[in-house]
Structure 1
Amino acid sequence: MRHLDFSPLYRSTVGFDRLFSMLDTANSDAPSYPPYNIERTGENTYRITMAVAGFAEADLTVEAKEHVLTIKGEKQEEEAERDILYRGIASRAFERRFQIAEYVRVEGAHLEHGLLHIDLIRELPEAMKPRKIEIGASSPKQIETKSH
């Protein structure tokens, strides 16, 4: 019997309580460039950090539409051609997509030290939030006996 690898689900979904419901969208051939982390920063907050060394803010696009977060990077044409002897820093164009849950929205994005940080927040409507139900104590009933 084959063992199923669910790691692609963990890498491309944010804010889902039931990741296995997305089995049909799992893609084991997912691209690995650029590398990224997904972290939980609070009870309802998340952060995606993507290593985009060499990209400027003008080279990056972050778009959220219909439960899909898309990050694109495309270098602007360099003014002068350089004679590069060895290219170890990748600067190729990329497009990375993340499935996000229904009540997760992008709060903001910023570029710092070659890392693109995208902050997400999950905001459940009041009707969807769990609520505590008070248990009322009833007065004990007394059994009446009839005397003859």
Structure 2
Amino acid sequence: MGILIQAFAVVVMAIGILLAPKIAKGRYSIVAIGEFGIAIVVAATFAVLGTHAFNSGIDGTPSPLQNMWALGHIGLLGLLALAWLWWRKLRTASVACLSLTGSTLMGYFLSMYLIAPIVTSGGSHDTARWTDSVVAASTAAAAVAIIMAARALLWPRQRKLRALHRL
């Protein structure tokens, strides 16, 4: 269920970034439409993965969506493209996209075969312990980054001009 919420969050993040006045200023509409299209594709890949997990959990057997594993690559490429496109506009949103790559299929493999065995000092023949914790940490890092992005958009820093006082 969490990955379905994550799919919704990717769309909301894209809408928030595209509608921000400071970011949207001076930008071509075709680029904004392309960015939103990429965000929809990424959200769709997360939605397919979440629907597969949800249906498999309810039925007790793997769903027919298990053969859609190639969508994981599309989600990864889409997140990397969004991170590249948003780097100059809002860096914390770009960091959020890079953190979300841990939730893709390739991010899961990386956490299962590289990061989790290092953290737990060993692996097993099929999966490493705490693999889901590594994926959850990347999702939490994305959440923190997008909260910082929202803070930067809603409450921008303003330089305070102090009057010089003479004694």
**Superposition TM-score, scaled by structure 2 size:** 0.29
With CA pairs under 8 Å and 6+ residues apart, which has the higher RCO, 1 or 2? 1
Name the structure with the higher strand share.
1
Structure in which a larger fraction of residues adopt helix: 2
Q: What TM-score do the two structures reach when normalised by structure 1?
A: 0.32
